[in-house]
Copies of this chain bind each other. A is one copy, B any other.
């Protein structure tokens, strides 16, 4: 019965925090921890801390288990090379050999992919994408990430970097993006994007709004959602505008991929129907007619506490299970 004791470790490495958990095949989380990623210090500090936290978490679990592998998600992570490449929020160097370093530190095989791909795999294994073979996940957080499940498998592309939907073109003359280009989807359909939209609308319109009392640095996505729920016209228009742009790009993604569903996740989706309704309307209006009314537009129900860890665990199960 040894196989029943098998677990994997899922690690979700973010710019601020790292989450990790020991996860059974059925998605049960045996133990879980979160700690600072120390992205602004040397890489060795992260590795040392990870080793310590790993040992402590392992010892905290009462039942016997066998660790069969580690799944890891990180920004700009490359499945093929095992490296994190040019991740702008980390001071660990241009090319960080994550898989190599963690395999040495924890003496267990590691498989890696980028953070949005992780959410896609997690949805497929444990979330609303369960049983689906063709769907798209968009994470609408600080930025926009995307993961594509195609014929049951994660879409990786020639160099393992497929699925950069945050950087498709909305408007070549549009907003400056972190990637150095202008008018990428991420500059509109993210928490930062809707904040920029609110500031544009306050400039364009004369309508009074509670949001006019906050500085750019003070304003949060949560404030915008709360204002919209209370009927604030600028905040409501900001969600409509975001949905119009996002929906048009979802229509394009539909035309490329003919997916069964598009699943939205991340901070911006906490606004629920405020975002979902204008997005769906715009998508249905702009989609190729053969697909009209056929693509399910859903919001993830995994919750942000576990989604990355479960995704990383699902990846590990797929490779080492």
Interfacial residues, chain A to chain B (CB-CB below 8 A) = 76, 85-86, 132-135, 148, 150-151, 153, 155-165, 167-169, 172, 179-181, 184, 248, 251-253, 255-260, 286, 288-291, 294
Contact = CB atoms under 8 A, between A and B. Distances in A.
B165 A255 contact: yes
Contact of A164 (B133, B156, B163, B290): B290
Contact of A253 (B134, B158, B161, B256): B256
Contacts of A168: 251-252, 255-256
Contacts of A248: 169, 172
B133 A167 contact: no
A257 B180 contact: no
Contacts of A133: 158
Contact of A256 (B85, B132, B156, B165): B165
A99 to B, nearest CB: 19
| Central interface residue in A159, A160, A260, by most chain B CB within 10 Å | A159
A253 B257 CA distance: 11
Nearest to A184: B288
Contacts of A257: 155, 157, 162, 256
B256 A159 contact: no
B252 A294 contact: no
A259 B169 contact: no
Contacts of A172: 248, 286
A198 to B, nearest CB: 23
Contacts of A291: 161, 164
A288 B256 contact: no
A150 B257 CA distance: 11
Nearest to A259: B158
Nearest to A136: B256
B289 A180 contact: yes
| Central interface residue in A165, A179, A289, by most chain B CB within 10 Å | A289
Contacts of A164: 255-256, 258, 288, 290-291
A258 B180 CA distance: 18
19 contacts: A135-B158, A150-B155, A151-B156, A158-B260, A162-B256, A163-B256, A163-B258, A164-B256, A164-B290, A167-B255, A168-B251, A168-B255, A168-B256, A169-B248, A169-B252, A179-B289, A181-B288, A184-B288, A252-B252
A168 B252 CA distance: 5
Contacts of A155: 150-151, 257
A198 B258 CA distance: 33
A288 B256 CA distance: 18
A306 to B, nearest CB: 27
B180 A157 contact: no
A318 to B, nearest CB: 15
A184 B251 CA distance: 11
A248 B286 CA distance: 18
Given A165-B256, A168-B251, A169-B286, 15 more contacts: A134-B157, A148-B256, A150-B155, A151-B153, A151-B156, A155-B257, A157-B257, A161-B258, A163-B256, A163-B258, A164-B291, A165-B255, A168-B255, A252-B252, A253-B256
